[in-house]
Chain A
Amino acid sequence: MSMTLVEKIIADHANLAEVHAGEIVVVHPDLVLANELSGILAIETFFRHGRDHIFDPDQWVFVPDHFVPARDIRAANTARRFREFAYENGIQKYYELGRGGIEHVLLPQEGLIWPGALVMGGDSHTCTYGALGAFAIGVGSTDLAALMVSGELWLSVPETVQIVYRGTPSPWVEGKDMILYTLGQIGGDGAHGQVMEFHGALLRTLSAADRFTMCNMAVEGGAMTGIIPPDAVTQAYIVAHGNKYYDEKALSTTYGNAHKIIDIDITGLEPQVAQPFSPANSVPVSAIGDVPLDQVMIGYCTNGRLEDLRRAAHILAGRSVHPHTRLLITPGSQQVYQQASAEGLLDIFLAAGAMISPPSCGACLGGHLGVLGAGETALSTTNRNFVGRVGDVKSRVYLSNPTVAAASAVAGRIIAPQELPGLVSHPQQVIPTTELWSPLEVTA
């Protein structure tokens, strides 16, 4: 029996010739990620069960990013114990503040992810790495503790649903809009426990940044993870980030057997905005009505890559943030921050009246660095707008791509970018000018 891409990756890591959806198997992940919050709970559980040393330090990446730079004394102590545990256990891949960033921007950038890899992370957005053809899933802290003990973990092999995009969207559409639209079509639980495997001619021409954004939000469709079969774009990204080549043949023989195929027509698609309180609550930006904004947030793990900041800068150059609105920019990593600085993007943001925050989850999960008060409304490029996610239960969060967010910061209310006077084109249209080589295209 043939296998899907994900079944193939799981079989390789379970030491089995074949695995199929529904089976429970034990896998040995190539890489395990912990942040200071999932990590501290795992460390406590690990110690409580009488363990002291981690099974394989080289399997681990430790990234403090949620409540750091420490927002209060408790957070400082959590980060301290997390750091000490990493040192004591000889975990080399520990990324201190000022040398790291938000985990899901950081790991691919550091060359830690490759096609065919199996990754488990103590964070639900570990699914981001599917953009590089890895099978990457979020797990809990007890899972992390078990991985500390034995280096392996149980897994229920998921079904795969292929999402196939057809048609050509409007020039303002980015990866974020494609995933918001998809979530709107299938619903917040539309891919329950499955893998969303993304396909379509347009997808093949999307940048790695757009792909990360899409896979980042697979979990918002109830999926176990998202994945994009590796191709030339993947190859170029991993080579540029110092990673190994992958066995293209081994992976490419396995795509055609999805459990379900969903066709999504994106002809003429407009940028999307997800309304409170679900990422699946998306509508075209033109249908949003009058939504005045107290705060706009650009960056984080969903849209905090250099390409995203360039898009925001393209809009903000020579313009100013609306007097009644605050604009927070949060680069996804130290490297993104440096590159944005070198390209002059930070000067554009500062001149426009934005505030730049250090790479940190910050307000994305209502932690610190810009949480919302009662009755406040924000537009954010993050991935969740649940009740109370960014602060007070009575605050409201809308989600969009960085271009819409930047234009809306200027207008002080949610607008489509083309409504800004003098704006002629999108900085990085996703519509291809030349066909990229793509031998792995599904013909379904």
Chain B
Amino acid sequence: MIEGHVWKYGDNVDTDVILPGRYVSLTNPADLAQHCLEDLDAEFAQHVRPGDIIVAGSNFGCGSSREMAPLAIQGSGISCVIAASFAPIFYRNAINIGLPILVTQQVAAETKQGDILNVDLLTGRVENVLNRRIFQAEPFPLLLNDIIRSGGLLPYLTNNRQGLK
């Protein structure tokens, strides 16, 4: 169970604003976190607290494939990103590094900046603590669920020595 304050953003949040190109030579999540969302919301990196949740519209993480973007979010202590949809490469990257994500249009549409969400990552149940509304995120396909539960793609490969089957 996760509970955290919501940072709310719109559609098409691209990886250039999540982690600007000028910083992509950094690789350590703690260093990356200092610049997370810098070009979209200068407040974010200063005020984000561990456990906070990002809620966004459609196509979150579009643009560059840079994995420094989800790493920066992870380094910021964000516990989960919930969006109406994710850009295909960001979706892969988040699952692969073990950054929890959930896909649901409803939460994206009906959540505001500063709301508090309670999230059950195992079931995809999301509750808005302020108004007690309950939402259900889309389930993940089987293999992806296994990767998520292993904590990411490399831990998964280590646990399953015969590979991705």
Residues on A lying within 8 angstroms of B by beta carbon are: 24, 26, 37-38, 40-41, 44-45, 48-50, 66-67, 74-75, 78, 122-124, 137-143, 145-146, 149-150, 152-154, 156, 158, 188-189, 192-193, 219, 222, 224, 278, 365-367, 371, 384, 386-389, 393
Q: List A contacts of B88 (CB < 8 A).
A: 137, 156, 158, 193, 222, 224
Is B52 part of the contact surface with A, judged by Cβ < 8 Å? no
- On whether the beta carbons of A140 and B17 are closer than 8 Å, the reply is no
- On whether the beta carbons of A140 and B62 are closer than 8 Å, the reply is no
Contact with A along B71-88 (1 / 0, CB 8 A): 100000000000001011
Is B154 part of the contact surface with A, judged by Cβ < 8 Å? yes
**CB within 8 Å for A38 and B22 given contacts A154-B143, A189-B58, A222-B87:** no
Q: List B contacts of A44 (CB < 8 A).
A: 27
- On whether the beta carbons of A384 and B67 are closer than 8 Å, the reply is no
> Besides the contacts A139-B65, A365-B24, what 4 more A-B pairs have beta carbons closer than 8 Å?
A146-B154, A154-B144, A193-B88, A387-B16
- On whether the beta carbons of B66 and A38 are closer than 8 Å, the reply is yes
Is B25 part of the contact surface with A, judged by Cβ < 8 Å? yes
Chain A residue at minimal CB-CB distance from B89: A138
- On whether the beta carbons of B59 and A41 are closer than 8 Å, the reply is no
- On whether the beta carbons of B16 and A388 are closer than 8 Å, the reply is yes
Q: List A contacts of B65 (CB < 8 A).
A: 38, 122-124, 138-140
Kindly state the separation between the CA atoms of A192 and B157 in the bound complex, as whole angstroms: 29
* CB < 8 Å neighbour of B25 from A78, A224, A389: A78
Of B91-99, B111-119, B122-130, the one contacting chain A is: B91-99
Chain B residue at minimal CB-CB distance from A155: B92
**Closest 6 interchain pairs by CB?**
A140-B93, A142-B96, A365-B21, A189-B59, A366-B21, A124-B65
Give residues 11-34 of B contacting A (CB, 8 Å).
11-12, 14, 16-17, 20-22, 24-25, 27
* CB < 8 Å neighbour of A124 from B71, B85, B89: B89
- On whether the beta carbons of B16 and A139 are closer than 8 Å, the reply is no
Q: Closest approach, in angstroms, between the C-beta of B95 and any C-beta of chain A?
A: 9
Chain A residue at minimal CB-CB distance from B162: A150
- On whether the beta carbons of A278 and B21 are closer than 8 Å, the reply is no
Chain B residue at minimal CB-CB distance from A43: B27
- On whether the beta carbons of A142 and B154 are closer than 8 Å, the reply is yes
- On whether the beta carbons of A386 and B143 are closer than 8 Å, the reply is no
Q: Closest approach, in angstroms, between the C-beta of A300 and any C-beta of chain B?
A: 13
Give residues 145-160 of B contacting A (CB, 8 Å).
147, 152-155, 157-158
* CB < 8 Å neighbour of B157 from A139, A150, A365, A387: A150
**CB within 8 Å for A388 and B17 given contacts A38-B66, A139-B89, A156-B141:** yes
**CB within 8 Å for A140 and B39 given contacts A124-B63, A189-B11, A386-B17:** no
Is B68 part of the contact surface with A, judged by Cβ < 8 Å? yes
- On whether the beta carbons of B67 and A142 are closer than 8 Å, the reply is yes
* CB < 8 Å neighbour of A26 from B22, B87, B163: B163
Q: List A contacts of B152 (CB < 8 A).
A: 142
Is B106 part of the contact surface with A, judged by Cβ < 8 Å? no
